[in-house]
Chain A
Amino acid sequence: MATFEYAPAPESRAVVDIKPSYGLFINGEFTDSQGGSAFKSINPSSEEVLAEITSASDADVDRAVAAARRAYNGAWGRMSGADRGKYLFRIARILQERAREFAVLESLDNGKPIKESRDVDVPLAAAHFFYHAGWADKLDYAGLGTNPRPHGVVGQVIPWNFPILMLAWKIAPALATGNTVVLKPAETTPLTALLFAEVVQQADLPPGVVNIITGAGATGQAIVDHPDIDKLAFTGSTGVGKMIARSIAGTRKKATLELGGKAANIVFDDAPLDQAVEGIVNGIFFNQGHVCCAGSRLLVQESIADEVEKRLKRRLQTLRVGDPLDKNTDVGAINSKAQLDRIVELTAAGEAEGAERWDNGCELPSKGFWFRPTVFTGVSQGHRIAQEEIFGPVLSVLTFRTPHEAVAKANNTPYGLSAGIWTEKGSRILWMADQLRAGVVWANTFNKFDPTSPFGGYKESGYGREGGRHGLAAYVTTGDSK
C-alpha cells in the first residue's frame, strides 16, 4: 500500500527575537555579572549557538538574594493578597498573549516538538499563574492551618525538561503566598526564563520580587547554601536532591524536592488495547522521555504481552522524529550531548545485561542530539534499565501474571513518583491505586497535569507536592507567630 508523506510544516522562528547575550535579571532589571563567566546555550536539534549566557558568581547570588529580601521587607511584603493576585493574573495574561513566542523559543532551546511546547507547556504555565492568582487573597481558606504567611525569600532551582512550565510551578505559588524568589533555570535551557523576566517587567512587578540568575551547578549550590534563603524548591535528579537535603541539615531552611522516578505503566489483559498502546507511547515518548514521571517500565500481563509488543512496535514506526519546529514532529531532540551520552550508556548496559533491544529504525538528522524510540523486551527486575532512571525515549518491558505480582514489581524501586494502570475493571483500579506507593496514579490515562492537581513523590522521589492546596502548603508557615 502506498503511504502518503507529510509535507514539512515548520513553525516560523521570526516571532522570536533572541539577543546575542544575556545578563542576569536582578532587582527588576538586566545587569552584568560581577565576576561571573559566560557560556553558550545551543539548539540541541542543530547544535547552533543561540545566545551567550551568564554564569552567575557568588556575588551575583548575594545581590539577587538581597534584592529579594528588600522586596520582601518592602513593597511585596506589605501588599494585600488581593493586589498580589492581580499581578499574577496579569502575568498569566501576558503569557497567553505571548504564547507563540514562548513556544517557539522553548522548542529552539530545549529541542522539544513545537506541538508539545505550544499545546502543553505554555498553556499549562499560564494556567498555573491563573490558578495561583486566585489563591493570593484566600489563603485563610486553604485549610493549611491558622495564620498562613510566607517564609520570606525562596531559592528555586529547576531542570531543563520543562523550562517554562517548571518556572511557573515554582514562581506562581511562591508569589501567591507572598514570598519573593531567586530562580535559577538549567544551564542548557535558560532562554524562556530570561524571556519571562520581560513578562515580569511588563506586568510591573515591584523590583526584586522575581530574580532570575543563570548558571550551572555551582550557582545552584550557592543559592542552596545562601544564609538568607528561607526556603528551597528544587526539581531535578535524586542525587542532587540528596545533596540539597544534606546541605540544609541542621538549619531551619525549608525544602521541597521533586526528584526522579521509574514509573510502572501496568497493563492488564482486559485493558482496551489500542488506548493502552497510545497511553504507553504517551507515557514514555512524550517530551523524548525527558519526564520524571515517565512510564519507563511497562508491566504487561503475560497473556497479552506478545500482542501488546506487536501493536506497540507497529505504532512506534509511525512516530515522526525530527525538527522540533515542524508541527508534524512527535519526538524532538535529546536536550544535550551529556544527556544523550547517558542514554547511550544505559541502553548499552541493557543489551549487555541480556535484554533484547529494538528501535523504530527511523532516519535521524545528521546534526544535533538524537535517539530513536527504543524498546527493551525480556527485561528483568535486576537490570539497570529496570532500576535506574534513563530520562530518554527508552521503554523497558517486563511481564506479570497476577495483580499482586504487578504491585510487587511496580513498587520495587527506591522511587515512588507515578504509576499507570490500564484495565476495564473499576474495582481493580481502585485496589491497585491503593497498593501503589506513588504520588500520582494515572488510571486508563497517563502524563496528565493540572494546576489544581497535586504532583509529587513518595520515597526517594522527594518530598512535598506542587499544585493544588497541597502545593501551597510548602510556601507558607502557620500557627502562632513568634
Chain B
Amino acid sequence: MRKTYKLYIGGKFPRSESGRSYEVVDSRGRFLANAAQGSRKDARDAVVAARGAFGGWAGATAYNRGQVLYRVAEVMEGRRDQFVAEVRASEGVTERRAETIVSEAIDRWVWYAGWTDKLAQILGGLNPVAGPYFDISAPEPTGVVAVLAPQGSSLLGLVSVLAPVVCSGNTAVVLTSERRPLPAVTLSEALATSDVPGGVINLITGRTAEVAPWLASHRDVNAIDLTGAADAEGVSWGDLELAAAENLKRVLRPAGEGSDAVEPDWSRTPDLARVTAFLETKTVWHPKGR
C-alpha cells in the first residue's frame, strides 16, 4: 500500500499549509512517492514549535535526554527493514550496503545519546582565578538550530547532523534531503513514537533553495548548520551565511575549500565539533568567604 508522506512539526504530522507536494523518485528515476513540499510558513511554524520546546528540552536532566535519545535508536531498530528499503531506493545502493548504512545510522544515534551527560564534564570546568571566587564554566545549548540535512546521505548523514544538535539540549528545524526525503519521514515516525517531546525535532521536506533562506534570516533561529548546502539545487551557502549575520546566528559552514561545498564522508567516526558548534559557554562567579 502506498502511503502519504507529511511534514513533522511540533510532534504532529501536518500536510504543508501550502497544499503542495512534489514527486520523489528513486535513483533510477522511478516514482516513489509524493512528499509534502514545505513552505516558508511551515518553516516559521516549525521555529515556533522548536522555540516552545526549547525550555523543557534544555532544562531536562542530561540523564533524561540521554534516555530519550537512546529510545529513538531502539525505535529505529524496530523499523530497520523500512529504513533499509528506503535508503536502498533513495540512494541506489545494494541491499547489503543499505543494511550497513542503517546500522551505522543507529550506532551514530546511540553514540550521540551517550554524550548528553558527559558534555559538561568534558567541556566545562572550574576556573582557577586569582582571587577568592568560585568560578565555573559549563556548556549550554544555543537555542533553536536550523539544519540543512545532507542531500546525498539520506539517513546516516541526517542522523550525523541532527543528533549532535539535539543531544546538548538544542531544538531543531531540519530541512531534509530534497531528492531523498523518505528516510527522514520514517525517522520522524520513529521520533513521534519515541519519547522525544513534540517540537524538539521538526522535519520539513521540500525544496532546500526555497525554504532555507527563510530559516537563515529568521530572527528567532539562533544557529544554522549549512552542511546540506553542498549539492543542494540553487543554493549558495555564502548567501545563507550572509542572511544569518542579521542576528549573528552561529553558522556551521559546509565542508570544502573556498566557496566550494562538499558532503563529508559520513562513515568516519565523528568528533565533538558538530556538538560544540551549537554550544555556548556560561561562566558563573561567586565570592568565597566566611
Contacts and interface: CB of A to CB of B under 8 A. Distances in A.
B4 interface: no
Given A433-B284, A445-B286, A450-B127, A459 B248 contact: yes
B1 interface: no
Nearest to B246: A242
B247 A414 contact: yes
Given A252-B258, A433-B282, A433-B284, A452 B127 contact: yes
A448 B133 contact: yes
Contact of A249 (B127, B245, B280): B245
Contacts of B257: 252
A454 B125 CA distance: 10
A439 B283 CA distance: 6
A242 B259 contact: no
A245 B245 contact: yes
Given A249-B242, A252-B253, A445 B285 contact: yes
B121 to A, nearest CB: 11
Interface in A436-464: 438-445, 448, 450, 452-456, 458-460, 462-463
Chain B interface main SS type: mixed
B60 interface: no
A358 to B, nearest CB: 30
Contact of B286 (A143, A440, A444, A454): A444
Q: Which of A246, A429, A433, A453 has the most CB of B within 10 A?
A: A453
B137 A453 contact: yes
Contact of A458 (B142, B244, B272, B273): B142
A146 B282 CA distance: 24
A406 interface: no
B250 interface: yes
Nearest to A250: B238
B265 to A, nearest CB: 11
A292 B246 CA distance: 20
Contact of B287 (A146, A439, A444): A444
A479 B236 CA distance: 26
B246 A452 contact: no
Nearest to A124: B130
Contacts of A257: 248
Range for the number of chain A residues in contact with chain B: 35 or more
| From B137, B258, B272, residue with most partner A Cβ within 10 Å | B137
Given A459-B222, A462-B248, A443 B129 contact: no
Contacts, number: 116
B250 A463 contact: yes
Nearest to A430: B284
A439 B248 contact: no
Contacts of B142: 458
Contacts of B285: 440-443, 445, 448, 453
B42 interface: no
A414 B285 CA distance: 23
A469 interface: yes
Interface in A409-442: 414, 429, 433-434, 438-442
Contacts of A241: 248
A135 to B, nearest CB: 14
Contacts of B244: 245, 249
A443 B284 contact: yes
B284 A441 contact: yes
Given A249-B245, A250-B242, A454-B127, A441 B282 contact: yes
A145 B122 CA distance: 11
Nearest to A429: B286
A458 B280 contact: yes
Most buried by A among B237, B238, B283: B283
Contacts of B271: 145-146, 478-479
A413 to B, nearest CB: 12
A259 interface: yes
A470 B125 CA distance: 10
Interface centre among B129, B248, B259 (most CB of A within 10 A): B248
A468 interface: yes
Nearest to B256: A252
Contacts of B86: none
B135 A453 contact: yes
A252 B237 CA distance: 11
B178 interface: no
Contacts of B237: 250
Contact of B127 (A438, A443, A453): A453
A138 to B, nearest CB: 15
A443 B286 contact: yes
Contacts of B129: 448, 450, 452-453
Contacts of B125: 469
A479 B273 contact: yes
Given A127-B130, A146-B271, A448-B129, A439 B281 contact: yes
Contact of B241 (A249, A445, A459, A473): A249
Given A246-B245, A259-B248, A439 B284 contact: no
B29 interface: no
Given A445-B287, A453-B129, A459-B248, A465 B281 contact: yes
Interface in B264-290: 271-273, 276, 280-287
A360 interface: no
A246 B239 CA distance: 9
B128 interface: yes
B131 interface: yes
B283 A242 contact: no
Nearest to A254: B253
Contact of A470 (B128, B281, B286): B281
A238 interface: yes
A208 B241 CA distance: 32
Contact of B281 (A127, A245, A456, A479): A456
Contact of A454 (B128, B236, B281): B281
A77 B282 CA distance: 33
Nearest to A441: B284
A458 B223 CA distance: 11
Contacts of A433: 282, 284
Contacts of B130: 127, 450, 452
Given A445-B285, A448-B285, A453-B137, A463 B248 contact: yes
Contact of B283 (A455, A463, A478): A455
A194 B264 CA distance: 45
B65 to A, nearest CB: 15
A250 B241 contact: yes
Interface in B47-102: 59
9 contacts: A143-B122, A414-B247, A429-B286, A440-B284, A445-B285, A450-B129, A453-B135, A459-B247, A465-B281
Given A257-B248, A441-B285, A458-B142, 14 more contacts: A143-B122, A242-B245, A245-B244, A246-B242, A250-B239, A250-B259, A251-B259, A414-B247, A438-B282, A448-B133, A454-B137, A460-B247, A468-B137, A478-B271
Q: A-B pairs with the 6 shortest C-beta distances?
A: A250-B238, A245-B245, A450-B129, A249-B241, A249-B242, A453-B127
